Amino acid sequence: MGTYKVKVDRDTCTGCELCSTEAEKTFEMDDEGIAVVVNPEGDDPDTIRAAAESCPADSIILHDAETGEKVWPED
């Protein structure tokens, strides 16, 4: 599995901190209590994918770093 381009949708993130707990080297909470990507390769791709899939607001958007194809959330 390749690496991902990782984004957080600040408009929908609820600040639940799940992602920063599950993939703590990739996501951190900022001063406003919203998740930010600190290192898109901070954790292994499976961990990042699992964090994205566990986001209750589908606020973590993953694109395949090589192809640019959107891989999460699924449409």
Residue with Cβ nearer ligand SF4 (3 or 72): 72
Taking the complex as a whole, the smallest distance from the CB of residue 31 to ligand SF4 amounts, in Å, to 14
Nearest distance from residue 54's CB to ligand SF4, in Å? Answer: 7
Which residues, 6 or more positions from 10, have their beta carbon under 8 angstroms from its beta carbon?
Answer: 34, 59
Q: Which residues pair with 37 in a beta bridge?
A: 27
The CB-of-55 to ligand SF4 minimum distance in angstroms stands at 3
> What is the binding site for ligand SF4 (CB under 6 A)?
8, 13-19, 35, 55-57, 59-60
**Which residues in 1-75 belong to E strands, given as ranges?**
4-8, 27-29, 35-37, 60-64, 70-72
